[in-house]
Amino acid sequence: MSANLSPAARRGLSTDVRPSREEAEAAVRTLIAWAGDNPAREGLIETPKRVVKAYEEFFAGYDEDPIAILSKSFEETDGYDEMVLVRDIRLDSHCEHHIVPIVGRIHIAYLPRDRVVGISKLARVADIYARRLQIQEKLTAQIANCLESVLKPRGVAVLVEASHQCMTTRGIRKIDADTVTTRFLGEFRDDQHLCNQFLKLTGNG
């Protein structure tokens, strides 16, 4: 797959499928009316613009390429080959089934082979995938698979802990329920001691 393709093209989308801002705002007005309120009243008249602007922030990940974020790496490590772990990365995403928040934490680790990447880039990759409509399982896999594909490390570990408002504020309303997902690749999958070390360092062991 060409690195020159846009994120939309990578997903098999053309750039002309995105509605205009005016169409998006009209859709918000329709939802307000459907909910039983008057989109033309004073308190709501600017709401469609605000919602569309908020969506630009919530779903900014569709316009960013996580592969490009990881493209710059460094060889000057003095032979460092142990685990690199960034834990407690804030997760703010939205459930693709109900478009309500998923809030939690992401822990990412990798075992460098020859090169390392700036640690902020790990959080940036997580954020790009999170700022798309998601399910937690797919989010976890996407982060791990991207790191493995680009960095080609000896191993990757990703653990996501999150609360889903589609479960806590509606439906069965289990307010204390959290969901934990993991993906272990390479040596993290093959070496139980290494896997346990990762879990312990993230407070899950």
d(CA 20, CA 40): 21
d(CA 110, CA 127): 17
Average pLDDT over residues 164-170: 85
Q: From the candidates 64, 148, 165, 166, which is the catalytic residue?
A: 166
CATH 3.30.360.10 fits 7-58, yes or no: no
**Rounded to two decimals, what is the model's pTM?**
0.88
136 flagged as catalytic: yes
Fold for 79-201, please state it: GTP Cyclohydrolase I, domain 2 (3.30.1130)
- Torsion sign (Cα): 202, 112, 142, 191: negative
The pLDDT tens digits for 186-202 are: 999 999 999 999 999 99
Q: What is the predicted pLDDT for the residue at 2?
A: 41
Q: Is 94 annotated as a binding residue?
A: no
Q: From the candidates 95, 134, 146, 161, which is the catalytic residue?
A: 95
Q: Is 98 annotated as a binding residue?
A: yes
95 flagged as catalytic: yes
Q: Is 95 annotated as a binding residue?
A: yes
